[in-house]
Structure 1
Amino acid sequence: MKKENFTILFVVKLNKLNSKGLCPVNVRITYQGVRKENATGYFVDPKFWDAKRQLTTSKALDAISTNIQLELIRQKIKNAYLSILLETDDFEADDIYHKYLGKPLKESEFVVRYFQKYLDKIFKLIGKDLKLATWKKYNYACIQIVGFIKFKYKKNDISLDKINLQFLTEFEYYLKTEQNQCQSTINKAIQRFRRLITIGIAEGFLEKDPFILYKAKKVKKEVIFLTHEELETVERTQISQPRLALVKDLFVFCCYTGLAYVEMAHLSKQNIQIGFDDVNWIQMKREKTQRQISIPILPKAQEIIKKYSTDSNRIFPSISNQKFNSYLKEIADVTGIEKRLTHHIARKTFASTVLLYNDVPMEIVSELLGHSNMVITQESYGKVVQKKVSEAMISLSVKLK
């Protein structure tokens, strides 16, 4: 039994002297620096109380009986402590006192165990309401929580009701300093953990939401896209190598449709449908959000579809995302574009250069991109709109001179 972790102390309450000149004796349990103090129901004459020896030195029969009873209380509390140690390594001074009184320990859930139960539950939804990639992200968040608890608390798990603002801020600090993660990655991990905490609150394992005062640090991301001139340069560039020519065409196609890599790779003839306006539309579910998207096929995108049209159900030849982005680096060298070209830049170019710079309203841009809500679109492309407004005002200023 470690003295610094667990102590039992009898305390005479001198400020509560009764008419007989006796003071009540309280028992104070201290465990890991946290106190729990309660009345014992016994009284002593303060003149005879020996605080060091923890007993009354009076020779009166009732005083001797009190000493015996206090020692019995001490022994019962020690036994309660030893008993609770065998049951769990996550308890408090309050739990020791409840054990001494014979009350059952309050049922609690543990963070890692609860997270693993959640992972097991949503694993069954893979292929139905959930993507395997999404499950893996939550699983990785769980691994991060396990690592933090071992690092911070030197335990394999802690009670779920101990999650508070301090836990969250220290978890963020751990990911930043010990795991060397960037802020956007940290925000994602905490966002996934927040999902678990929300469920825990709903199921009654937490009384308060620890996220109420927590504010994630915002990451300012610059939207990188091709300007009208840069997009034209890519389109006009003649490339003799078939592998690069294919990637160039697919990149341009995505610049005029906004499709993500997976959506482009899986685009099939069933996804091309004639709309109410007699124009071909892409009709499919967005992989990331599972939202239905409907995108009118612009003439340049239609030309590329026609170019690669075969008897196959798939519109375009198969190519991995890794190779796609690798070949884009070569295309950037050929075209003289200094920006780091990736497939995602095509999607950004569609939203910015093709849509917003041609006065397409933000709500329509949000719909065509398949964003789950327009706030995402505004946060990502708000500065693009501001830049366009600025350019228009500069042009107006010149006219008004």
Structure 2
Amino acid sequence: MQDLFSVLFYVRKSKNKSATHAMVYLRITYEGKRAEASTMRKVNLSKWNAKANKMSGTSAEAKQVNRNLDIIKNRIYEIYQKFLENGEEITAVNIKDEFLGKNKDDKRILKIFEDHNLRMEKLVDKDYSFRTLQRYKTTKKHLTNFISSSYKADDFRVKDIDIKFINSFMYYLKTELNHSHNSALKYLAYLKKIVRIAVANGWLEKDPFYNFKQKRQVIDREFLTKEEIIKIMEKTFTIQRMEQVRDAFLFSCYTGCSYSDIKKLTKQNIIKGIDGSQWLKFKRTKTRSLSSVPLLTVPEELIKKYEDFDNPKGTLLPVLSNQKTNGYLKEIADLCEIQKKLTFHVARHTFATTVTLSNGVPIESVSKMLGHRSIKITQHYAKVLDEKLSEDMNNLKNRMAASENKRKLK
């Protein structure tokens, strides 16, 4: 490898044939390709030793010039070694640019990521949720390990990010970390936002994600049936915390609230709706969009149950940490003999599917209650059950039969 890389100095004579001095130039060669730069030092042509690449003699001038040339040469080798160790692209031009300081303004993706996350951290509960921050941090952690593993570097120049880099990161997420296709795409979505910050700031000329085309795979979302909800509702728990988790889960099944929303709800979020009944009104933590949900009997009863509960946080319901909540839900599923992976988010899908759509609530209303900005998002949550299809078609048959009978009577 060393034979592919060389550094030498030469003098470039001026067109003036009578000139006695000339500028010394640096020539870097790597894999047969050259890059040259001025050392900004002139020498007496009669004193220059072309074979030795330095000035001849022991004069003070010769010693000073040769010392400076040695410093330059050592610096070039240091840059070359650094490029090797960091897994950076080695070319004669890149080494020259690094030496001249042209790469000092090169932005690195992990540094941009870290700066973004630090700014976001200060805006948690204002513009962003804590969970969103955690997802960005996790993406940065995966990206750090990917760069270290694939490029043997501690960071990566943002201007070198291309479609190959993106596809390689996608492959790493799927193979090394065993993430599903959709999970890998989520991490890439966070990387894409950071890359677009670089594009917007002019640190990257073109968006490398422009030609990245990957679609999410359609998967069936878990939700509970009416019978499964009743099982959980009627189950008696001896552990108070498990009962509290069950109640928060049921509250979500009948309101569509996410975990991050329920843990912040207070009495101030309960208002009198246009119909005179109690409504739940709040801004979603994730999207900051407004959700308005008329309260059904079950959530009303749960609110009454915890009215006198000693809750220092002053929330409507006592809510455990997300990790403990999902841990207890797994136990609840086992105790109730429910053969599904029960997480808190299943409650939100259950509200969209079993509680609302299956009971004839239009998808537009469901979307508004869930706080979605688009019905397309709601369609990912909601499934129309066969039972509802059967009911709708039977109603249609009855209407058509009634219409036929009227025509016969005439």
Q: Is this a same-fold pair by TM over 0.5? A: yes
Which runs of no fewer than 5 residues in structure 1 stay unpaired? 9-27, 39-67
Equivalent residue number for residue 364 of structure 2: 363
Distance in structure 2 (CA, Å) of the matches to 1:351 and 1:140: 29
Cα 1:234–1:165 shift into 2, 3 Å = same
Given that 1:81 and 1:96 are in contact with CA atoms closer than 8 Å, whether structure 2 keeps it comes out as no
Moved more, 284-293 or 302-311: 302-311
Equivalent residue number for residue 341 of structure 1: 342
Residue 257 of structure 1: how far off its partner (Å): 0.6
Name the SS for the 1:220 alignment partner.
Answer: coil
Name the SS for the 1:295 alignment partner.
Answer: strand
Residue 111 of structure 1: how far off its partner (Å): 2.1
Distance in structure 1 (CA, Å) of the matches to 2:244 and 2:118: 42
TM-score when normalising by structure 2: 0.70
Residue 393 of structure 1: how far off its partner (Å): 7.6
Given that 1:255 and 1:350 are in contact with CA atoms closer than 8 Å, whether structure 2 keeps it comes out as yes
Equivalent residue number for residue 41 of structure 1: none
Q: 1:293 aligns with which of 277, 288, 291?
A: 291
Cα 1:271–1:6 shift into 2, 3 Å = farther
Matched, 1:277 2:275: yes
Distance in structure 1 (CA, Å) of the matches to 2:126 and 2:6: 51
Q: List per-residue Cα deviations over 1:2-35 (Å, max 9, x = no partner).
A: 2235699xxxxxxxxxxxxxxxxxxx9764x695
Where do 1:26-45 residues align within 5 Å? 31=30, 35=33
TM-score when normalising by structure 1: 0.72
Q: List per-residue Cα deviations over 1:319-356 (Å, max 9, x = no partner).
A: 44444444444544454433333322221110001111
Equivalent residue number for residue 162 of structure 2: 164
Residue 228 of structure 1: how far off its partner (Å): 2.7
Residue 202 of structure 1: how far off its partner (Å): 0.8
Cα 1:371–1:7 shift into 2, 3 Å = farther
Given that 2:253 and 2:351 are in contact with CA atoms closer than 8 Å, whether structure 1 keeps it comes out as yes
Given that 2:358 and 2:388 are in contact with CA atoms closer than 8 Å, whether structure 1 keeps it comes out as no
Given that 2:352 and 2:381 are in contact with CA atoms closer than 8 Å, whether structure 1 keeps it comes out as no
Residue 271 of structure 1: how far off its partner (Å): 1.2
Given that 1:165 and 1:210 are in contact with CA atoms closer than 8 Å, whether structure 2 keeps it comes out as yes
Residue 279 of structure 1: how far off its partner (Å): 1.5
Residue 394 of structure 1: how far off its partner (Å): 6.6
Matched, 1:262 2:260: yes
Cα 1:106–1:81 shift into 2, 3 Å = farther
Given that 2:198 and 2:204 are in contact with CA atoms closer than 8 Å, whether structure 1 keeps it comes out as yes
Distance in structure 2 (CA, Å) of the matches to 1:194 and 1:378: 25
Equivalent residue number for residue 183 of structure 2: 185
Matched, 1:304 2:305: no
Cα 1:278–1:85 shift into 2, 3 Å = farther
Distance in structure 1 (CA, Å) of the matches to 2:243 and 2:130: 32
Distance in structure 1 (CA, Å) of the matches to 2:104 and 2:346: 54
Q: Which amino acid aligns with 1:239?
A: T
Equivalent residue number for residue 122 of structure 1: 120
Distance in structure 2 (CA, Å) of the matches to 1:321 and 1:231: 21
Distance in structure 1 (CA, Å) of the matches to 2:95 and 2:273: 71
Equivalent residue number for residue 93 of structure 1: 92
Distance in structure 2 (CA, Å) of the matches to 1:362 and 1:194: 31
TM-align CA RMSD: 4.3
Q: 1:241 aligns with which of 229, 235, 238?
A: 238
Name the SS for the 1:367 alignment partner.
Answer: helix
Equivalent residue number for residue 315 of structure 1: 316
Given that 1:183 and 1:217 are in contact with CA atoms closer than 8 Å, whether structure 2 keeps it comes out as no
Which runs of no fewer than 5 residues in structure 2 stay unpaired? 9-26, 37-49, 55-68, 402-410
Identical aligned residues as a percent: 34
Moved more, 345-354 or 118-127: 118-127
Cα 1:374–1:103 shift into 2, 3 Å = same
Given that 1:34 and 1:93 are in contact with CA atoms closer than 8 Å, whether structure 2 keeps it comes out as no
Distance in structure 2 (CA, Å) of the matches to 1:35 and 1:217: 42
Distance in structure 2 (CA, Å) of the matches to 1:154 and 1:85: 19
Name the SS for the 1:294 alignment partner.
Answer: strand
Residue 150 of structure 1: how far off its partner (Å): 1.9
Distance in structure 2 (CA, Å) of the matches to 1:172 and 1:344: 26
Residue 227 of structure 1: how far off its partner (Å): 1.9
